[in-house]
């Protein structure tokens, strides 16, 4: 398996524009996680899915953020409208069903909002 695949790797957008980040989890993994990494706040959990269903979105910072998982092999994280403070590295990760298994991370998307 190629691992968790995220696209794009880098995104530069203007304030107010819509941004969509994409993730393909490892085949067979039931859990998918979105994290955000910043210098100030470290690695924050935004939302996670189990079998395509959102389980906990309490980490989503504002209504401008939304995430979907229409099928087992694809998820999106959308920011609309984007703001400069959304600039960060966004990671997607996936793991198997059981709680004692590690999560595997994608390479991340570096988002810059100017």
Partner 1 sequence: AQSVAQPEDQVNVAEGNPLTVKCTYSVSGNPYLFWYVQYPNRGLQFLLKYITGDNLVKGSYGFEAEFNKSQTSFHLKKPSALVSDSALYFCAVREGQAGTALIFGKGTTLSVSS
- 104 lies in the site for partner 1, by CB under 8 A: yes
Is the four-CA dihedral 35, 22, 89, 65 of positive or negative sign?
Answer: negative
Range 63-92, binding partner 1 (CB under 8 A)? 91
- 43 lies in the site for partner 1, by CB under 8 A: yes
Residue 105: how many CA atoms within 13 Å on its side-chain side? 12
Which residues does residue 75 pair with via DSSP β-bridges, in sequence order? 23
- 107 lies in the site for partner 1, by CB under 8 A: yes
52 cis-preceded (ω within 30 degrees of 0): no
**From 1, 14, 18, 56, residue interacting with partner 1 (rule: CB under 8 A):** 56
- In the DSSP assignment, the letter for residue 9 is S
**From 19, 48, 75, 111, residue interacting with partner 1 (rule: CB under 8 A):** 48
* Binding footprint of partner 1 on the chain (CB under 8 A): 4, 31, 33, 35, 41-43, 45, 48, 50, 55-56, 91, 93, 97-100, 102-108
């Amino acid at each position: 398996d190629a691992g968790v695949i995220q696209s794009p790797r880098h995104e530069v957008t203007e304030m107010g524009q819509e941004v969509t980040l994409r993730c393909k989890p490892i085949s067979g993994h039931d859990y998918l996680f979105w994290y955000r990494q910043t210098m100030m706040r470290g690695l924050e959990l935004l939302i996670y899915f189990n079998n395509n269903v959102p389980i906990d979105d309490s980490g989503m910072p504002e209504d401008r953020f939304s995430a979907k998982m229409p099928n087992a092999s694809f998820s999106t994280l959308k920011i609309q409208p984007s703001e400069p403070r959304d600039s960060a590295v966004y990671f997607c990760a996936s793991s198997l069903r059981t709680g004692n298994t590690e999560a595997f991370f994608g390479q991340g998307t570096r988002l810059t909002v100017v």
